[in-house]
Amino acid sequence: MRLEGKTAFITGAGSGLGREAAERFAREGATIVAADIDLEGAEETIDRVESAGQSGTALELDVRDADAVHAAVDGAVSEFGLDIMVNNAGVSHERAKVEEIDESERDRVIDVNVKGVWNGCQAAIPHFREQGSGAIVNTASLAGVIGAPQLGAYSLTKGAVVNFTRTVAAEVGPAGVRANAVCPGVTDTAMPRKNRTEEEWEATKAEMSRHYPLKRLGEPEDIANAMLFLASDEADWITGQALVVDGGFSCT
């Protein structure tokens, strides 16, 4: 198993890509610390982790709160150790032109998507430096590397995550620590389904799939597999990269 004996701290683990990553990492032998603002969701994730035969714990965590993030990571290190930090928690916003996005909405997205990643990295790096190893995986987005009309605030934050990941990689590489980002295309999770009925989503999904060379949208396991690779020793000489996982959309 690729992560046997390792501990992964995953934010936004109560649903979507975070939950899928937790389950995938657990199947590869990792102990999971599932952190989410939705404690019930995080607990359900740990139930699934335990069903896979691995151990873990669920934490209620608001990634915008730097003190809380530091305390949670420190606690995980004391109890389990720490080998992998997955800064996955994120939010989006309703589609709107840049000039129409409210300041408070812009700040909400920045606070979670940018400050949350900053807080997670800042909390984990001292522990990784001390032990001389560690892998950081930040969830960015295809919207962070190409234009995303009417998703201005979201695109702003995900572009920041991509470049911040490069900066972190350059800083911590000499200590034996790696940092990479995964950049998903549209993936079938709750975020793109928001405010759509099942029928509406299936129609949207079919229409969007036409624009992807592989003729389908992403599934959570597609992204979790990429996260797993970047977190594993198989990616031992890969750092500072933004791995685009988009079914070929960005090459068309």
d(CA 22, CA 245): 18
In this predicted structure, what is the pLDDT of residue 196?
A: 74
Q: What angle do CA 94, 162, 217 make, to 5 degrees?
A: 55
d(CA 231, CA 83): 9
d(CA 199, CA 222): 23
In this predicted structure, what is the pLDDT of residue 200?
A: 75
Q: Which domains does the chain have, with CATH numbers?
A: 7-241 (3.40.50.720)
The span from the first CA to the last CA of the chain, in angstroms, equals: 36
Provide the angle, in degrees to the nearest 10, between the axes of the packed helices 116-131 and 152-172.
10
**Do the beta carbons of residue 103 and residue 53 sit within 8 Å?**
no
In this predicted structure, what is the pLDDT of residue 199?
A: 77
String of DSSP letters for 77-138:
HHHH--SEEEE--------B-GGGS-HHHHHHHHIIIIIHHHHHHHHHHHHHHHHT-EEEEE
d(CA 64, CA 114): 9
Cα–chain center distance at 86: 6
d(CA 203, CA 219): 16
Residue 25: both structure tokens together: 């990492």
Classified as helix, coil or strand, 69 is helix
In this predicted structure, what is the pLDDT of residue 38?
A: 98
Annotated active-site residue in 25, 128, 154, 212? 154
Instruction: Give the sign of the dihedral formed by CA 55, CA 60, CA 62, CA 66.
Output: negative
In this predicted structure, what is the pLDDT of residue 194?
A: 73
List CB contacts of 7: < 8 A, sequence separation 6 or more: 30, 31, 32, 33, 76, 80, 81, 82, 83, 84
In this predicted structure, what is the pLDDT of residue 69?
A: 98
Instruction: Give the gyration radius of the chain's Cα atoms.
Output: 17
What pTM, to 2 d.p., does this model score?
Answer: 0.95
Q: Is 154 a catalytic residue?
A: yes
Beta bridge partners of 178: 135
Average pLDDT, 10 consecutive residues per value, the chain (252 residues): 96 97 97 98 97 94 98 98 98 90 95 98 98 98 92 94 98 98 89 75 82 91 98 98 95 86
